[in-house]
Amino acid sequence: MLTDDKYFRGWFRAGLFSLVIVAILGALMRYKIAFDFPVFQQKNLLHAHSHFAFGGWITHMLYTAVAGCLSGFLPAARQRRYHLLIALNLLLSFGMLFSFAWQGYGVVSITFSTLTIVIAVIFLFNYTADSQQFARLQLFPKWVRLGLLLNVIASAGPLYLAYMMATKNIQTDHYLASVYYYLHFQYNGWFFFGSMSLLAYKFSDKGPAFNDFFKIMSVTVFVSFLLSVLWMHLPTWLVVITAVAACIQLLAWLRFMKLLSPSWQVLQKKETPLWIKLFFYAAALAMTIKFLLQAISAIPHLSQLVFGFRPIVIAYLHLVLLGIYSSFLLGWLFSQVTEGISKAAEPGAYIFLSGVVLNEGLLAVQGIASFAYIPVPFVNELLVVVSLILLTGAGLMAFSLRSSAA
């Protein structure tokens, strides 16, 4: 199995501890909202939380997983380059964690953020240079290539934000558009195509399904960005094209799931523990909900209304980050590890997934209630409890993966 290699096991284990740190920051922010805690500025914690979640958790795991898939096709010297890039990205992610928590957007934090973009560019060039070595993988390479490219494209968002901060010329529309641009090409670009590459690696017999789905998603990923900026009063023809793209994505996803179902059912016959299967079920369900919500949000007036309520936006972002990509990567990781997992992994998985469901439920209730300006009693205190549930689950899973197989 891919992760039985001691180096990749180590990187995966480091990623799990990054998830614990993300959960700690989330719990701290929730606590500051519900109770009095004067240490740290909430906005700085938010920047630290989001940047580390993207760089130190999801991107770290995807880099590691992609490099793990390539390890059997590359000589040791080339593999070491990927190990170095993974290490540097994780180190810089910790730099962003501490600097954003300390100063928010400042010289130090922007420097660390910019250097992670440099790593993304180098990773893309290394992968492109090595691509001939694993061309026989067929499905896998093009998903990875486009994912890595979209990771670089997404960097234009924070770079423009940094420019506005440095020049102190912040325009609200440009600021929000830059944030949503970055989120879109991370969530729907790099994270999506990177995760799909792992499925393509696993289901290499499903070439036509993956090829058709790739063609649709590779085109619509650029158009669907406009879903995030419908509040900018786009021309009617652009709104129509955006709505059509959102509907096409939903239909393509449903068709893809149907075509993949027979292979998935065969895979389920193997002795895969239920708690690992639940990660994949959760990710598939959350992805379906995401595409459905995107199609609904193509209605301009509804989009303007939804984006005006912070709990709804936060619920959506957590649906994608926790419900889809965190669940999928955790399932993929543990399905690849054959030895060296303690019994704490199973309860940790159940606790973490319970926290994801409760988190989405509370945020959804809070968001729906906000439409009618109805306060939900003790919702902030309950969200603190949920954040501690997520932290507990992440902690158990992190400590369940031993540094080396016994």
Q: Give the chain's domain count.
A: 1
What pLDDT digit, counting tens, does each position of 334-373 carry? 888 767 788 889 999 999 999 999 999 999 888 888 777 7
Higher pLDDT: 182 or 138? It is 182
214: in domain: no
Q: Tell me what pLDDT residue 406 has.
A: 40
Q: What average pLDDT does this structure show over 239-251?
A: 94
Q: What average pLDDT does this structure show over 78-96?
A: 94
Identify the residue whose tokens are 């922007």: 110
pLDDT at 231 > cutoff 90? no
DSSP assignment of 222-278, as one string?
HHGGGGGGGGG---HHHHHHHHHHHHHHHHHHHHHHHHHHHHHHHHHTS---HHHHH
Structure-token pair, residue 116? 């992670």
Q: Which residues contact 158 (CB under 8 A, 6 or more apart)?
A: 113, 117, 178, 182
Q: Which residues contact 393 (CB under 8 A, 6 or more apart)?
A: 348, 349, 350, 351, 352, 353, 354, 355
pLDDT at 35 > cutoff 60? yes
Q: What average pLDDT does this structure show over 131-137?
A: 70
Task: Calculate the average pLDDT of the chain.
Answer: 87
Least confident residue range of 11-20, 31-40, 280-289, 325-334: 31-40
293: in domain: yes
96: in domain: no
391: in domain: yes
Alpha-carbon distance values, 105 to 28, 32, 46, 301 (Å): 20, 20, 11, 33
Rounded CA separation 347/368 (Å): 31
Share of the chain above pLDDT 90, in %: 53
Q: Tell me what pLDDT residue 161 has.
A: 83
196: in domain: no
Q: Tell me what pLDDT residue 307 has.
A: 63
What pLDDT digit, counting tens, does each position of 140-187 carry? 888 999 999 999 999 998 888 878 877 878 788 888 889 899 999 999
Q: Tell me what pLDDT residue 270 has.
A: 63
Structural domain that includes position 293: 271-406
Which burial class, exposed, middle or buried, applies to 338 when counting CB atoms under 10 A from its CB (0-12, 13-18, 19+)?
Answer: exposed
Cross-strand pairs, 47: none
